[in-house]
Amino acid sequence: MAPTPKDYDNIYKRLQAPISKVYDCGKKCAPYNNGEPVCCTTGHAIPIVEHSEYKLLKSRTDMWSPFKPKSAADRAEIADLKGSDCRAVECKGARHCERDNRSMACRTFPFFPYFSPDGEMVGLATYWSFEGQCWVISNLTIVEQPFIDDMMASHDLLFAADEDWRKTYRSQSATMRGVYSRKGKRFPVIGRDGKYFWVLPKSGGKMIPAKKAELMELRSGFPNFGE
């Protein structure tokens, strides 16, 4: 069963901490994206919400509306949503953002809960397709413990409301292992307690500790617009 609007209200209450209190990451990526944060522009990321989450948002604000495709690529991207529990939406843009009325996707981007192959939610991984565009992905050491705690607790609430979401993220985690194994590259995971790990390629998901200095080397990957 899909989460109810009330479930999403509870999830929002548990998803309050910013990624970092020190850095406003939108100011880091926007200069490379016509002055707009990358994850707040539908040209880069079309927000997807469940119908029940949309119902909650509509009861709280007029900031959100159904997404209107502007191209064939947009239409292709949202084609799979027809008849599903989810829909594509758009907000009024970063200048009109209401922090309390951001969607779950806004609050969690660029992270998703990472699951080990044996099904343990061990921490946070990032949506790899935004590497080089999202400044946070290249600066993982800025992530603070309250954000990690909120991510873990809010996803526990989501899974309690709808177990299918756990399957979704287990599958997403497996896909990420496959993508990086094919590249022959390791990828970073931030553990529940804030420790850093590498997930090694072609290893069945083996995790080894990562040094902060190693993660800081990822900074050289930002920005890579146009590459």
Binding site for ligand SF4 (CB under 6 A): 25-26, 28-29, 37-40, 47, 91, 93-94, 97, 102, 106, 109-110, 134-136
Helix (H) or strand (E) holding 196: strand 196-199
Residue 37 C-beta: closest distance to ligand SF4, Å = 3
Instruction: Characterize 136-145 residue by residue with b for buried, 16 or more Cβ atoms within 10 angstroms of its Cβ, and e for exposed.
Output: bbbbbbebee
Helix (H) or strand (E) holding 123: strand 121-126
Nearer to ligand SF4, 78 or 200 (CB): 78
Using only C-alpha atoms, what is the Rg of the chain? Answer: 17
CA distance 152 to 111: 11
Nearer to ligand SF4, 208 or 216 (CB): 216
Residue 187 phi, psi (nearest 5):
-135, 155
Residue 81 C-beta: closest distance to ligand SF4, Å = 17
Residue 160 C-beta: closest distance to ligand SF4, Å = 24
Nearer to ligand SF4, 110 or 201 (CB): 110
Nearer to ligand SF4, 38 or 148 (CB): 38
Residue 97 C-beta: closest distance to ligand SF4, Å = 3
Residue 50 phi, psi (nearest 5):
-75, 155
